[in-house]
């Protein structure tokens, strides 16, 4: 038996197809990257909605048998399948057995199948007891026809939809945070309801017609304490009314208490929830900016007003500055960009992330750069360097681009003094405000530009000044007319915006793209 | 090559860099400092004309021989002092050219009000650079290399001399790519002292006295500069 199970575990563990199937099931259920997950989710949602619709419809109308069969067999079958899949991928028994076997072998002690099997099954059981697993299980139950009561469990199918909303999890999270207060209140509530329910039963059961059982008494207590007060049961004796007064007053106090606990829990977490929402929103786009530090440079950056920056998020660890940024109308989050977990929330596998480390402290900027690079080397970092002496450190930290405000300003002043005409030109080009733009055209593979000679493109007719080609590390200035363009070249051109755009558009066919 | 001198106020963060660059380019400069440390530093960096002045006193400024300077560059480390200096210079001398640096938004406005002819805002130029890096990284890098370097490819302004073959030519017809020189733009004095890019698509007739801006390798630019003095194109 032991040997059979062990060899089965080895077989499964080393079977490529088994592992592939499991991996596929796992991504289908959990990984948004799986292209089929969308369809799977949509199907589940469709099944839930139709089955609830049938439940409502059949209350007053006869249901055709095929619809009934669809509801019982098909929907339940799919849900059962889903339940089993989730249970299956939750953990890997074969792996646990093998690792236990290897450990036993290593320590040269006897291998006990029982222990590890128990552990594995317990962990499966643990999954089965999670709320979402219970909901899934209850959603299958209505298939069992003989018990009509189980039909009501179709409503549990609606709860399956909760898996697709994050807000409910956040709500539960908030409530869990206030577990202690809420539990205390719950116990107090139970205590009051029980004592007054029992009291009214003892005192009025004989005199009051509507109170027949203890259940009636407790029902009355709950209806009264919640201030709902249906009025179907009401006390008739004086002492009964006195109890009512007490229960109503405590009820009002308790309800307001519960409300305030929940509200305060939410307002405490509101900022965090909002920030999570911003990050989620960001992760949906395929390219965005993370700007660290809301200082002079960042303010100026936003004020340039050249092109609306859409996908960005501002991080600053100083709440005051974050407040200021929000007042100025920017999306800001009060988080420390030098913390690993903060940057790790961003989806760097899908989106092209550019991080601007623009705080006024070099130490901070280096730390943020290192942090970003440790989270993922895919994150492009543009760092601000204040002290030229730290330049080398930024290179070591892996910053992709460095920005030295002092240096930039110095160069500009220097140019303004030595070449005043040039200064105007360069300033115009750099600020992009003028009729001249220096732009780059990225030549992708299989575009119409590849293989064409410079002369045949006739930049002059397009009113474009062709300056050169960046090919790999080399820059070819003013190449001769017979030079042909290769894939991955970057053409450096200058001209009015509309000429450049027209040129780009004309050569767009065939997959041309530019930044 | 430049007869006029340049006065630099301040030998701090920015002054140092600018002064050294100008000196290497053969400009004649005067450094004026108000702190002893920076004054000593400038002295030890082998600048010939370094003065220690209290720039807050008008009588000190009045003694400067304004006529011989082409530009006044205010790059004091203390921004308050910088604004005050700009204001003093402007009130004393109405027609000098003042260039000032600002390292915050508010100061830029104050400097302009104080009468600086050109204010370079540290954060504005940096913020623009971030944009350029984001939008066109390669073009930005190349452009910076052209501007910053004196060797290799760079920009150059050239005054069209009298009797040049360029005199009377249409700007759009010119093509010197065979000489390794690309014409970027020009200042047409007939149309006022404005810089125009060659790609603007306007019909320009060049005259002597106009300035053209070219890009090319240093050697090509040098030979082009001598070429345009000739009457006929080779």
The domains of chain B are located at: 5-123, 150-227
Whether B87 has a pLDDT exceeding 80, the answer reads yes
Percent of chain B with pLDDT strictly greater than 70 = 90
**Nearest chain A Cα distance for residue B211, angstroms:** 8
Percent of chain B with pLDDT strictly greater than 90 = 0
Q: Which of B18, B132, B185 sits opposite A425 (nearest CB)?
A: B185
How many whole angstroms separate alpha carbon A427 and alpha carbon A321? Answer: 31
Whether B234 has a pLDDT exceeding 70, the answer reads no
The predicted structure's pLDDT at residue A420: 73
Identify which has the larger pLDDT, B197 or A440. A440
A421 touches chain B (CB under 8 A): yes
Identify which has the larger pLDDT, A237 or A169. A237
pLDDT digits (tens, 9 = 90+) for A499-510: 888 888 777 654
How many whole angstroms separate alpha carbon A280 and alpha carbon A232? Answer: 50
Contact A515 B123 (CB under 8 A): no
B-chain residue closest to A356, CA distance: B130
Contacts of A356 in chain B (CB under 8 A): 130
In Å, the largest CA–CA distance within chain B is: 59
Say which CATH superfamily domain B150-227 falls into.
Answer: Regulator of K+ conductance, C-terminal domain (3.30.70.1450)
Q: Which of A416, A421, A492 sits opposite B139 (nearest CB)?
A: A492
A132 touches chain B (CB under 8 A): no
Identify which has the larger pLDDT, A300 or A186. A186
pLDDT digits (tens, 9 = 90+) for A156-203: 778 877 777 767 777 788 888 888 988 999 999 999 999 999 999 999
The predicted structure's pLDDT at residue A510: 46
A483 touches chain B (CB under 8 A): no
The predicted structure's pLDDT at residue B195: 72
Kindly state the average pLDDT of the residues A266-294: 84
CB B136 within 8 A of CB A515: yes
Whether A514 has a pLDDT exceeding 50, the answer reads no
Please give the model's pTM, rounded to 2 decimal places: 0.66
DSSP 3-state assignment of A212? coil
Question: Which two three-digit tokens encode residue A443?
Answer: 């030549």
Cβ-based neighbours of A447, under 8 Å, separated by 6 or more: A487, A507, A510, A511, A512
Contacts of A424 in chain B (CB under 8 A): 195
A-chain residue closest to B186, CA distance: A421
Output DSSP code: residue A350: T
How many whole angstroms separate alpha carbon B121 and alpha carbon B15? Answer: 15
How many whole angstroms separate alpha carbon A435 and alpha carbon A424? Answer: 12
**Nearest chain B Cα distance for residue A103, angstroms:** 53
Contact B138 A492 (CB under 8 A): yes
C-alpha distance from residue B154 to each of A277, A427, A465, B22 (Å): 49, 15, 16, 17
A415 touches chain B (CB under 8 A): yes
A389 touches chain B (CB under 8 A): no
CB B128 within 8 A of CB A430: yes
A304 touches chain B (CB under 8 A): yes
Identify which has the larger pLDDT, A382 or A427. A382
Q: Which of B22, B132, B135 sits opposite A418 (nearest CB)?
A: B22
CB A443 within 8 A of CB A490: yes
A409 touches chain B (CB under 8 A): yes
How many whole angstroms separate alpha carbon A166 and alpha carbon A188? Answer: 31
**Nearest chain B Cα distance for residue A275, angstroms:** 25
Set out the domains of chain A in order of their start, with CATH numbers: 2-164 (no CATH), 179-269 (1.10.287.70), 286-403 (3.40.50.720), 436-515 (3.30.70.1450)
Contact A413 B126 (CB under 8 A): no
The predicted structure's pLDDT at residue A515: 36
Contact A515 B136 (CB under 8 A): yes
Contacts of A408 in chain B (CB under 8 A): 122, 125-126, 129
Kindly state the average pLDDT of the residues A20-49: 83
Contact A465 B184 (CB under 8 A): yes
The predicted structure's pLDDT at residue A202: 92
B-chain residue closest to A287, CA distance: B134
DSSP 3-state assignment of B71? strand
Question: Which two three-digit tokens encode residue B24?
Answer: 């290497």
**Nearest chain B Cα distance for residue A392, angstroms:** 19
The predicted structure's pLDDT at residue A229: 84
Cβ-based neighbours of A49, under 8 Å, separated by 6 or more: none
- Say how many CA atoms lie within 13 Å of A400 toward its Cβ: 19
ipTM exceeding 0.85?
Answer: no
Whether A294 has a pLDDT exceeding 80, the answer reads yes
Identify the top-confidence range among A257-261, A475-479, B216-220.
A257-261
Kindly state the average pLDDT of the residues B4-18: 84
How many whole angstroms separate alpha carbon A113 and alpha carbon A6? Answer: 8
Kindly state the average pLDDT of the residues B42-54: 85
Contact B153 A463 (CB under 8 A): no
C-alpha distance from residue B65 to each of A50, B7, B96 (Å): 92, 10, 12
A-chain residue closest to B212, CA distance: A421
The predicted structure's pLDDT at residue A441: 83
The pLDDT-based confidence of B151 (bands split at 50, 70, 90) is low
A414 touches chain B (CB under 8 A): yes
How many whole angstroms separate alpha carbon A73 and alpha carbon A51? Answer: 11
The predicted structure's pLDDT at residue A511: 42
Q: Does B150-227 match B5-123 at the fold level? A: no
A289 touches chain B (CB under 8 A): yes
How many whole angstroms separate alpha carbon A266 and alpha carbon A323? Answer: 20
List helix spans (H) across chain B: 13-24, 36-44, 58-62, 79-92, 105-114, 122-135, 137-148, 218-227
The predicted structure's pLDDT at residue A305: 62
The predicted structure's pLDDT at residue A340: 85
Kindly state the average pLDDT of the residues A315-325: 88
Question: Which two three-digit tokens encode residue A188?
Answer: 């107090």
How many whole angstroms separate alpha carbon B133 and alpha carbon B139? Answer: 8
Identify which has the larger pLDDT, A208 or B150. A208
Contacts of B133 in chain A (CB under 8 A): 382, 401, 403
Percent of chain A with pLDDT strictly greater than 70 = 94
The predicted structure's pLDDT at residue B154: 79
Contacts of A465 in chain B (CB under 8 A): 182-184, 198-199
Contacts of B101 in chain A (CB under 8 A): 409, 413
Contact A412 B125 (CB under 8 A): yes
Q: Which of A384, A406, A421 sits opposite B195 (nearest CB)?
A: A421
Contact B197 A436 (CB under 8 A): yes
The predicted structure's pLDDT at residue A307: 62
Whether B150 has a pLDDT exceeding 50, the answer reads yes
A-B contacts at Cβ under 8 angstroms: 193
Mean confidence (pLDDT) of chain A: 83
A419 touches chain B (CB under 8 A): yes
The predicted structure's pLDDT at residue A508: 65
Kindly state the average pLDDT of the residues B119-144: 81
A417 touches chain B (CB under 8 A): yes
pLDDT digits (tens, 9 = 90+) for B179-217: 788 887 777 766 666 677 777 666 677 777 788 888 888
B-chain residue closest to A493, CA distance: B139
Whether B43 has a pLDDT exceeding 80, the answer reads yes
CB atoms within 10 A of CB A167: 10
The predicted structure's pLDDT at residue A512: 42
Mean confidence (pLDDT) of chain B: 81
A403 touches chain B (CB under 8 A): yes
Contacts of A324 in chain B (CB under 8 A): none
How many whole angstroms separate alpha carbon A139 and alpha carbon A160? Answer: 8
Contacts of B213 in chain A (CB under 8 A): 421-422, 425
- Say how many CA atoms lie within 13 Å of A121 toward its Cβ: 6
The predicted structure's pLDDT at residue B2: 46
pLDDT digits (tens, 9 = 90+) for A85-124: 888 888 888 888 888 888 888 888 777 778 888 888 888 8
A410 touches chain B (CB under 8 A): yes
Identify which has the larger pLDDT, A511 or B16. B16
How many whole angstroms separate alpha carbon A262 and alpha carbon A173? Answer: 11
How many whole angstroms separate alpha carbon A482 and alpha carbon A412? Answer: 37
A-chain residue closest to B187, CA distance: A421
Kindly state the average pLDDT of the residues A218-232: 90
Q: Which CATH architecture has domain B5-123?
A: 3-Layer(aba) Sandwich (3.40)
How many whole angstroms separate alpha carbon B159 and alpha carbon B187? Answer: 9
A287 touches chain B (CB under 8 A): no
Question: Which two three-digit tokens encode residue A475?
Answer: 């820059």
């Amino acid at each position: 038996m032991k040997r059979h199970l062990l060899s089965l575990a080895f077989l499964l563990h080393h079977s490529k197809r088994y592992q592939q199937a499991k991996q596929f099931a796992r991504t289908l259920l959990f990984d948004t990257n799986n292209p089929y997950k969308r369809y799977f989710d949509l199907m589940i949602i469709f099944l839930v909605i139709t089955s609830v619709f049938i439940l409502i419809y059949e209350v007053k109308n006869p249901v055709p048998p095929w619809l009934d069969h669809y509801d019982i067999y098909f929907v339940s079958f799919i849900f059962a399948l889903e339940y089993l899949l989730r249970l299956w991928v939750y953990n890997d028994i074969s792996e646990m057995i093998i690792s236990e076997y290897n450990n036993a072998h290593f320590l040269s002690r006897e291998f006990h199948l029982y222990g590890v099997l128990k552990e594995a099954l317990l962990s499966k059981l643990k999954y089965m007891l999670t709320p979402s697993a219970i909901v899934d299980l209850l959603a299958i139950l209505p298939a069992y026809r003989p018990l009509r009561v189980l039909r009501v469990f179709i409503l549990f199918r609606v709860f399956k939809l909760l898996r697709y909303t994050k807000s409910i999890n956040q709500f539960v999270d908030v409530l869990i945070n206030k577990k202690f207060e809420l539990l205390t209140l719950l116990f107090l509530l139970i205590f009051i309801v029980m004592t007054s329910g029992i009291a009214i039963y003892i005192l009025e059961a004989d005199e009051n017609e509507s109170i027949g059982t203890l259940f009636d008494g407790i029902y009355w207590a709950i209806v009264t304490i919640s201030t709902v007060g249906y009025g179907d049961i009401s006390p008739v004796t004086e002492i009964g009314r006195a109890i009512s007064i007490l229960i109503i007053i405590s009820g009002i106090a308790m309800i307001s208490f519960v409300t305030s606990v929940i509200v305060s829990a939410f307002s405490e977490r509101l900022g965090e929830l909002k920030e999570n929402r911003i990050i989620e929103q960001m992760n949906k786009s395929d390219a965005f900016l993370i700007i660290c530090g809301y200082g002079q440079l960042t303010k100026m950056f936003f004020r340039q007003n050249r092109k609306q920056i859409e996908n960005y998020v501002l991080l600053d660890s100083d709440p005051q500055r974050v407040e200021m940024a929000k007042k100025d109308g920017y999306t800001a989050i009060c988080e420390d960009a030098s913390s690993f977990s903060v940057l790790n929330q961003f989806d760097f596998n899908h989106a092209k992330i550019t991080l601007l480390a623009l705080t006024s402290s070099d130490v901070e900027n280096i730390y943020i750069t290192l942090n970003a690079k440790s989270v993922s080397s895919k994150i492009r970092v543009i760092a601000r360097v204040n002290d030229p002496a730290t330049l080398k450190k930024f290179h070591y930290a892996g910053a992709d681009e460095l920005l030295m405000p002092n240096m930039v300003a110095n160069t500009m002043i220097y140019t303004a003094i030595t070449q005043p005409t040039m200064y105007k030109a360069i300033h115009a080009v750099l600020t992009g405000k003028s009729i001249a733009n220096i732009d780059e055209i990225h030549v992708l593979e299989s575009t119409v530009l590849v293989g064409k000679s410079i002369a045949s493109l006739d930049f002059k007719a397009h009113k474009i000044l062709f300056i050169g080609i960046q090919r790999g590390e080399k820059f070819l200035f003013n190449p001769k007319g017979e030079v042909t363009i290769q894939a991955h070249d970057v053409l450096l051109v200058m001209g009015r915006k509309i000429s450049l755009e027209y040129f780009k558009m004309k050569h767009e066919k065939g997959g041309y793209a530019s930044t | 090559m430049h007869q006029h001198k340049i006065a630099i106020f301040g030998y701090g963060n920015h002054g140092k860099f600018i002064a050294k660059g100008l000196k290497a380019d053969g400009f004649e400069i005067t450094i004026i400092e108000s702190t002893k440390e920076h004054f000593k530093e400038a002295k030890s960096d082998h600048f010939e004309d370094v003065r220690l002045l209290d720039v807050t006193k008008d009588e000190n400024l009045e003694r400067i021989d304004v006529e011989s300077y082409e530009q006044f560059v205010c790059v004091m480390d203390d921004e308050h002092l910088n604004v005050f200096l700009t204001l003093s210079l402007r009130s004393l001398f109405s027609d000098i050219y003042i260039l000032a640096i600002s390292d915050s938004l508010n100061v830029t406005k104050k400097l302009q009000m104080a009468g600086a002819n050109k204010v370079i805002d540290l954060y504005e130029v940096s913020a623009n650079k971030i944009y350029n890096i984001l939008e066109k990284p390669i073009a930005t890098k190349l452009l910076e290399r052209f501007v910053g370097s004196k060797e290799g490819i760079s920009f150059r302004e050239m005054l069209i001399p009298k009797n040049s073959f360029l005199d009377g030519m249409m700007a759009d017809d010119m093509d010197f790519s065979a000489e390794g020189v690309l014409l970027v733009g020009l200042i047409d004095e007939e149309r006022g002292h404005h810089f125009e890019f060659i790609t603007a698509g306007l019909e320009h007739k060049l005259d002597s006295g106009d300035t053209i801006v070219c890009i090319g390798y240093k050697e090509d630019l040098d030979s082009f500069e001598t070429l345009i003095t000739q009457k006929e194109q080779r």
